[in-house]
């Protein structure tokens, strides 16, 4: 595995690969790798000739600077993981390599997708995500790029970004990888105690209950019942539970409102914001 800090040098190296007809798979991450990341890498390894991964804790997407400082950094273990996963190139830039003096920091038109739901609570977050992903796409120019369904709103933002700039990149969305108890894997789970981590399974269980309930009760009632249950749990602070059209993120109040309906949830528990989601219907 080759490690590049410079986007320009990586771009030159990958241009040579493309000239010889190689297809390039790209998995952007912020490190502190776990099995969720590995599932993306595995799939990308199977579907491409050359595999590029990036590790970059992007300051632009952290609206809360304390969260940025507390973000886990486990580079030695990550490098080992990536070598085992068959990564060819690791992009490991510094902040100055990504946002050099020549970088023009204009906001990207995300058609309002960045200011609703998660974006309403984290102003600037999706602009930060879109900017760094666009920057990396411009230099890696992958054939396919892989993202996790775990960050559902992010996948809709990235799909929009690719359409908006007419980028010739296939976006592949990979299913959520969960711990044995159902908790969605996340680098932030490391901040939970063992007991909290085991108890945090209530989030997944409540999504399963919601999915079952909404097929025999109106969706609004099912959401209200699940929200009431979550609000009754000690130590859990439900930030939102909302059902949306999975293509547009427009809120739906009935399963009949869209062909593709996804429940999005954020619960603050043990001092950590835990994100999860579940597809309720996809025709």
Site for ligand AMP, rule CB under 6 A: 29-30, 36-37, 39-40, 147-148, 150-151, 174, 176-177, 184-187
Burial label, 51 (beta-carbon count in 10 A; 0-12, 13-18, 19+): buried
**Residue 74 tokens, joined:** 């486990």
Chain centre distance of CA 228: 27
**276: enclosing H helix or E strand:** strand 272-282
Three-state secondary structure call for residue 207: helix
Least separation in angstroms between residue 128's CB and ligand AMP is 11
Candidate list 34, 35, 37, 125, residue with the active-site label? 37
Render the burial of 200-217: b for 16+ CB within 10 Å, e for the rest.
bebbbebbeebbebbeee
C-alpha span between 9 and 270 (Å, rounded)? 42
- Looking at the Cβ atoms of 147 and 204, the one nearer to ligand AMP is 147
Least separation in angstroms between residue 155's CB and ligand AMP is 7
Chain centre distance of CA 32: 14
Least separation in angstroms between residue 119's CB and ligand AMP is 16
Q: How many helices (H) and strands (E) does the chain have?
A: 11, 9
- Looking at the Cβ atoms of 61 and 206, the one nearer to ligand AMP is 61
Q: Is 37 a catalytic residue?
A: yes
- Looking at the Cβ atoms of 182 and 225, the one nearer to ligand AMP is 182
Give yes or no for a contact between 24 and 14, defined as CB atoms under 8 angstroms apart. Answer: yes
Least separation in angstroms between residue 101's CB and ligand AMP is 26
- Looking at the Cβ atoms of 177 and 238, the one nearer to ligand AMP is 177
Could you list the active site residues?
Answer: 37
């Amino acid at each position: 595995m080759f490690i590049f800090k410079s986007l320009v040098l990586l771009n030159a190296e990958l241009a040579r690969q493309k000239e010889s007809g190689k297809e390039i798979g790209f998995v952007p991450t912020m490190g502190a790798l776990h099995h969720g990341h590995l599932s993306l890498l595995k799939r990308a390894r199977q579907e491409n000739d050359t595999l590029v991964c990036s590790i970059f804790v992007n300051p632009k997407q952290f609206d809360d600077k304390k969260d940025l400082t507390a973000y886990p950094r486990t580079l030695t273990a990550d490098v080992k993981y990536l070598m085992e996963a068959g990564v060819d190139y690791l992009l490991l830039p510094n902040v100055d390599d990504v946002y050099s003096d020549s970088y023009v920091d204009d906001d990207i038109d995300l058609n309002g997708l960045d200011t609703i739901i998660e974006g309403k609570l984290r102003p600037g977050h999706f602009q930060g995500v879109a900017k760094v992903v666009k920057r990396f796409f411009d230099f890696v120019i992958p054939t396919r790029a892989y993202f996790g369904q775990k960050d559902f709103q992010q996948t809709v933002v990235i799909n929009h970004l690719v359409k908006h700039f007419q980028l010739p990149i296939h976006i592949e969305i990979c299913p959520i990888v969960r711990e044995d108890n159902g908790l969605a894997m996340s680098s932030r789970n490391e901040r939970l105690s063992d007991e909290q981590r085991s108890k945090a399974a209530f989030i997944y269980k409540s999504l399963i209950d919601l999915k079952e309930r909404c097929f025999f009760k109106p969706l609004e009632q099912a959401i209200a019942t699940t929200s009431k249950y979550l609000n009754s749990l000690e130590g859990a602070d439900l930030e939102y539970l909302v059902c949306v059209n999975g293509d547009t993120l427009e809120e739906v109040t009935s399963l009949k409102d869209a062909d593709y309906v996804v429940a999005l949830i954020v619960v603050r528990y043990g001092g950590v914001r835990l994100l999860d989601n579940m597809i309720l219907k996809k025709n």
